[in-house]
Amino acid sequence: MANPEHKESLDGLDKISVVIYRIGISLVSVALLMLAFAEILCVIESDKAGFMRHLSIHVVAISAAMCAATIHIYDKKIRTLIVWSGWLGLVTFIALPSHDWLFIGFFFVTFSGVALKESYCFKIKGLTLVPMLLILSVLVIWMKDAALLAILSSISGAIFAFLALKKWRMPLHFDIGKKSNYQI
């Protein structure tokens, strides 16, 4: 967790990685809300549901890659788990596109790690519930229950949207923390 009294000197790569991470968090919220909307369209049997769901899953993949590539966590083991889940999700997304519950599950592990990491910095109600909501969402995707998925992903998306707003208001160096604390 970043110490507000410590101001780390950031180079250009540090600044770019923080901005990409924050864009990734913003896209997570957009992707989850798009997925909720797509599932609502499925429930009302709209012709646009398939396209919207396809698009939202692609945005989920992009946001997972952005967060996985730029997350700043001191502990090497935890960072590896979060990052590799994102990359395994991308590989599965490409290799097994019909197994959406599987690659979305890997992406949601990455997003759960982001939510838990950020819960140490922010006291946002519901942020610690996001991992459970995302786990349930994967189960619901496997069960193909559009109505329940719309509810779960809209709640998760709203929590991530609130987190994104909070993140963009804070200085960039808060995301990096103290560079000497990172395990390499």
* Concatenated DSSP letters of 160-173: HHHHHHHHHHS-TH
Mean pLDDT by groups of 10 residues along the chain of 184 residues = 65 91 97 95 85 94 96 91 96 95 96 93 86 97 95 97 94 79 76
Q: What is the pLDDT of residue 4?
A: 58
Residue 20 to residue 71: CA distance in whole angstroms: 9
Q: What is the pLDDT of residue 123?
A: 79
Q: What is the pLDDT of residue 54?
A: 92
Q: What is the pLDDT of residue 3?
A: 55
Cβ(87)–Cβ(38) under 8 Å? Answer: no
- The model's pTM is 0.90
Q: What is the pLDDT of residue 28?
A: 96
Give domain limits for the chain: 12-173
Q: What is the pLDDT of residue 53?
A: 92
